[in-house]
């Protein structure tokens, strides 16, 4: 049967949008570090009959009947997640990373409690307590930041002093735009010193941790990890909460029980079982030996792109990257805003996002920086040389900013995309 035949027949408008988006993805390059491609198996699970089923509760403790297969799917997903991340427990029901973070806060804190997390302008995430979010009205968020934006060094001494003063219930580690490695041990030690829970939001680097290309907070005594299941993990869009209790089984069991209650009934109703099935499949894919090579290649490709930018004289926040993402100051480097750069590069077939940088003098909708990364490119088989070429194409567009440069880059991008088709299977 022709792909999307039923959609084409029933709703040509939606069909056109879907086909257009898939064409855009196939012919262009996705450089947004939080985006990736999933396997055909994951996509099939998302479109399966599991989408019809309500499964409020947890395996063996559901509120509706007819759960023998949904229980099986969720148990498979939980077991694979625990194996993948060496966790005591896994809750695979969160509908997204934001839901996972909020559920973790609800599990471990009472309204009004203090949470110490990374400042958004220094790489943190909206759900780490930015004032525009509703959750910031429920909990008292205080922030830590970088000591040196040129190297990315976190001011851990100031973080410790803040923790002693504020006595947070949670020390929250993790980021959405920070290209370096956090000192998990120092953060874990600080949490213990002030009797706080240690929670790591590893949404961006979960795949790197699973593939052994980044260290795991659990190796340094963290209590909880929250994550999305897409990004570097290359699964469906969704969230997950992993518990380890600092390696203490009794502490881990207590936290896991609190987490389960916070997710359901605390925050969500019926889980999306088609999504959980897709998560289970992606976890199996990530358990394959080939995933370690994939994770390693993501990091190598990002480092290669960063070196090309640095060689051109461009300013990179933190001076480079240890992971999958790069944050460039295009305003000081090229005299162009992040929003203008995003549009120019999008026109050239290279999709990334504008991004605020530390101490940014420009507004969030037209900031000084851009954020880009290598998870999706690496899925398509790009190596370091091809990644360097993409970086050079980006620089040529950013420097010249004329129609000829954009057109030339777009033509080459189409050639590179055709030579690196989106794969259908990773197993």
Average pLDDT score over the chain: 96
Name the least confident of 58-72, 128-142, 195-209.
128-142
Mean pLDDT within 384-409: 98
Supply the pLDDT for residue 234.
98
Supply the pLDDT for residue 235.
98
pLDDT, one tens digit per residue, over 2-31 is 789 999 999 999 999 999 999 999 999 999
- Among 236, 251, 286, residue at a domain's last position: 286
Mean pLDDT within 47-61: 98
Q: Over 60: is that where the pLDDT of 96 sits?
A: yes
**Do 261 and 313 fall within a single domain?**
no
Domains held by the chain: number: 2
Q: What is the DSSP string of 79-123?
A: HHHHHHHT-SEEE---SSHHHHHHHHHHHH--TT-EEEEE-GGGT
The catalytic residues are 54, 56, 201, 228, 231, 237
Supply the pLDDT for residue 46.
98
pLDDT above 70 as % of the chain: 100
| Closest C-alpha to 229, from 277, 197, 265, 183 | 277
Write out the E strands in 202-340: 224-228, 239-243, 315-316, 325-329
Residue 427 within any structural domain of the chain: no
Cβ neighbours of residue 324 closer than 8 Å, sequence gap 6 or more = 33, 204, 205, 208, 232, 298, 299, 302, 373, 374, 375
Structure tokens at 285: 């894919």
**Do 366 and 323 fall within a single domain?**
yes
Supply the pLDDT for residue 423.
97
Give the span between the Cα atoms of 286 and 36, in whole angstroms.
Answer: 14
Structure tokens at 94: 């969160």
Residue 12 within any structural domain of the chain: no
The length of the chain in residues reads 427
**Do 60 and 107 fall within a single domain?**
yes
Sign of the four-CA dihedral 73, 76, 79, 84: negative
pLDDT, one tens digit per residue, over 288-299 is 999 999 999 999
Terminus-to-terminus CA distance in the chain, angstroms? 24
Supply the pLDDT for residue 338.
98
Residue 326's DSSP bridge partners are 372
Instruction: Tell me how crowded residue 373 is: count the other CB atoms within 10 A of its CB.
Output: 31
Mean pLDDT within 301-330: 97
Q: Supply the CATH number for residue 62's domain.
A: 3.40.640.10
**Do 67 and 130 fall within a single domain?**
yes
Sorting pLDDT into bands at 50, 70 and 90, what band is 1? very low
**Do 149 and 280 fall within a single domain?**
yes
Residue 105 within any structural domain of the chain: yes
Q: Supply the CATH number for residue 392's domain.
A: 3.90.1150.10
What is the distance of C-alpha 41 from the center of its chain? 21
Q: Over 60: is that where the pLDDT of 182 sits?
A: yes
Sorting pLDDT into bands at 50, 70 and 90, what band is 98? very high
Residue 52 within any structural domain of the chain: yes
**Do 301 and 272 fall within a single domain?**
no
pLDDT, one tens digit per residue, over 125-159 is 888 988 899 999 999 999 999 999 999 999 999 99
- Among 227, 261, 286, residue at a domain's last position: 286
Supply the pLDDT for residue 324.
97
């Amino acid at each position: 049967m022709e792909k999307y035949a039923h959609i084409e027949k029933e709703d040509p408008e939606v069909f056109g949008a879907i086909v257009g988006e898939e064409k855009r993805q196939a012919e262009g390059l996705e450089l947004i570090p939080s985006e990736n491609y999933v396997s055909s198996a994951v996509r099939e699970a998302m479109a399966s009959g599991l989408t019809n089923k309500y499964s409020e509760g947890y395996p063996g403790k559901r509120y509706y009947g007819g759960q023998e297969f949904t229980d099986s799917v969720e148990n498979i997903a939980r077991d694979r997640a625990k194996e993948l991340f060496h966790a005591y427990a896994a809750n695979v029901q969160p509908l997204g990373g934001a839901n996972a973070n909020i559920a973790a806060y609800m599990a471990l804190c009472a309204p009004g409690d203090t949470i110490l997390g990374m400042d958004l302008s220094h790489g943190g995430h909206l759900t780490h307590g930015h004032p525009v979010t509703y959750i910031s009205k429920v909990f008292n968020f205080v922030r830590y930041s970088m000591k040196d934006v040129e190297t990315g060094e976190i001011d851990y001494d100031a973080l410790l002093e803040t923790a002693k003063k504020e006595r947070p219930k949670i020390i929250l580690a993790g980021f959405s735009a920070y290209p370096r490695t956090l000192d998990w041990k120092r953060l874990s030690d600080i949490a213990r010193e002030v009797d706080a829970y240690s929670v790591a939001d590893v949404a961006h680097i979960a795949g790197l941790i699973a593939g052994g290309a980044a260290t795991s907070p659990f190796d340094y005594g963290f209590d909880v990890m929250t994550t999305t299941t897409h990004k570097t993990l290359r699964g469906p869009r969704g969230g997950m909460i992993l518990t380890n209790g600092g390696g203490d089984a009794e502490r881990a069991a207590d936290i896991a029980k609190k987490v389960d209650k916070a997710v359901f009934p605390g925050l969500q109703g019926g889980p999306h079982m088609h999504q959980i099935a897709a998560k289970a499949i992606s976890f199996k894919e990530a358990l394959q030996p080939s995933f370690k090579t994939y994770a390693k290649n993501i990091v190598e490709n990002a480092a290669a792109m960063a070196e090309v930018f640095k060689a051109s004289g461009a300013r990179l926040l933190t001076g480079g990257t240890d992971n999958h993402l790069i944050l460039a100051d295009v305003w000081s480097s090229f005299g162009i805003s992040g929003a203008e750069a995003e549009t120019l590069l999008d026109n050239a077939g290279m999709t990334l996002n504008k991004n605020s940088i530390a101490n940014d003098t420009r507004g969030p909708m037209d900031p000084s920086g851009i954020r880009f990364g290598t998870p999706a490119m690496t899925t398509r088989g790009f190596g370091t040389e091809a990644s360097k070429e993409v970086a050079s194409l980006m620089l040529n567009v950013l420097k010249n900013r004329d129609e000829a440069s954009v057109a030339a880059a777009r033509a080459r991008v189409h050639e590179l995309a055709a030579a690196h088709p989106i794969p259908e299977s990773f197993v």
